Amino acid sequence: MAATHTAPAVQLDGISKSYGDSYAVHDLTLDIAPGEFFSLLGPSGCGKTTSLRMIGGFTDLTDGVILLGGEDVTGLPPNKRNVNTVFQSYALFDHLSVADNVAFGLKRKGVARAEIRERVATMLDQVQLGNLAERKPHTLSGGQRQRVALARALVNRPQVLLLDEPLAALDLKLRRQMQVELKQIQREVGITFVFVTHDQDEALTMSDRMAVMNDGHVEQCGTPEDVYERPASSFVASFMGTSNLVAGTYRAGEVVMDQGPALPVGPRTGITDGSRVSLAIRPEKIWLTDLAPGMARVSGVVRETVYSGPTTTYLIELAPGVTVSVLEQNTDRSRMEDRWSGGESVEIGWQPEHCLVLD
């Protein structure tokens, strides 16, 4: 099958991987566009790393077809696929300099020395390591080693770069810095990135699109905004950040809890009266003060106040066994004496369009 300029960079057509009677990945179908930063996101054991390894050729498929740029590579070994992989461990050669680590793949391909020097120097400058070319990896920080691994993969000019949780070993502050830098590098080089992570914030920060995986299949695929604001299932709503999930029965624009008050949600098309549902609403979408006209309202009792610097989270009990979290920004107007304390009765509210009713 010949490649075309309109073909997806990566096309997964019903790929599966089973071990005996158990499926690690089952009937996965995805198209990833050229130049896209695409994330496979999910908890441990959901099949995201297995999917990445199948794309790279490190794990054989049980069923399905993989195409790269329109070409069927299903049966090809890793060295015959125009992809490179950055692993969590970086896998650098400590006895080689930074420049020689980056040049390693080019030397194995037999690229001319002059071209190797030029491409390595250009790539090291691009990852801001030009002044460290002669250093050994063990003398570098975690973030610098991560950049070396990235440069070594990108200098080969792969069609697709596969990244298996490459930031997981970094501390929180450095990881957030590298998220921004990694996205900037991806935009500069224009190569398709397929990024595996279990970190929701990481995927939201960097991805053009993401696929949320669970138990070997995709629960939802879309832009970060689509997946966060409009989760397609209770799993996605709970996995993507923090979401209040309240079970109940839908009746005439309300979700009636099994034990507790009815929560107004407005009329919902496609959901019939009497259906068992989950109400999902993000903590930052709930108001504790300055409730506006037209908001859905319900009373509760403050059970816990958690101060976290920029924000304060309140845990509000609506009924025995039903507690929701409310997130408020700590602005200049927010003073310690203005915060709610445990045991106080409050009224909370939200715009009906900001909550989701999941079948």
pLDDT tens digits in sequence order for the chain, 359 residues long: 444 457 899 999 999 999 988 999 999 999 999 999 999 999 999 999 999 999 999 999 999 999 999 999 999 999 899 999 888 777 888 899 999 999 998 998 898 999 999 999 998 988 888 888 999 999 988 888 888 988 898 888 899 999 998 888 788 888 888 888 889 889 988 999 999 999 999 999 999 999 999 999 999 999 999 999 999 988 999 899 888 988 899 988 888 888 778 888 888 888 888 999 988 999 999 998 788 888 888 999 999 999 888 888 999 999 888 899 999 888 765 555 567 777 889 999 998 888 888 87
pTM, two decimal places: 0.86
CA–CA distance, 173 with 87 (Å, rounded to integer): 20
Whole-angstrom CA distances from 78 to 21, 45, 64, 186 are: 27, 23, 17, 22
Q: Where in the chain is the domain with CATH 3.40.50.300?
A: 10-229
| pLDDT score of 193 | 96
| pLDDT score of 74 | 95
- CATH architecture type of domain 10-229: 3-Layer(aba) Sandwich (3.40)
CA–CA distance, 160 with 37 (Å, rounded to integer): 10
**C-beta separation of 39 from 166 below 8 A:** no
| pLDDT score of 4 | 47
Neighbour tally for 327: CB within 10 Å: 17
């069927």: which residue's tokens?
72
Whole-angstrom CA distances from 161 to 35, 102, 294 are: 10, 15, 49
Q: Helix, strand or coil for residue 227?
A: helix
CB half-sphere exposure, 260, CA atoms < 13 A = 22
CA–CA distance, 240 with 195 (Å, rounded to integer): 17
| pLDDT score of 333 | 55
**C-beta separation of 132 from 98 below 8 A:** yes
| pLDDT score of 39 | 97
| pLDDT score of 2 | 47
| pLDDT score of 332 | 62
Q: Where in the chain is the domain with CATH 2.40.50.100?
A: 242-358
Tell me which of 2.60.40.10, 3.40.640.10, 1.20.140.10, 2.40.50.100 is the CATH number of domain 242-358.
2.40.50.100
CA–CA distance, 85 with 69 (Å, rounded to integer): 17
Neighbour tally for 192: CB within 10 Å: 25
| pLDDT score of 10 | 97
Cα torsion 111, 117, 123, 129: sign: positive
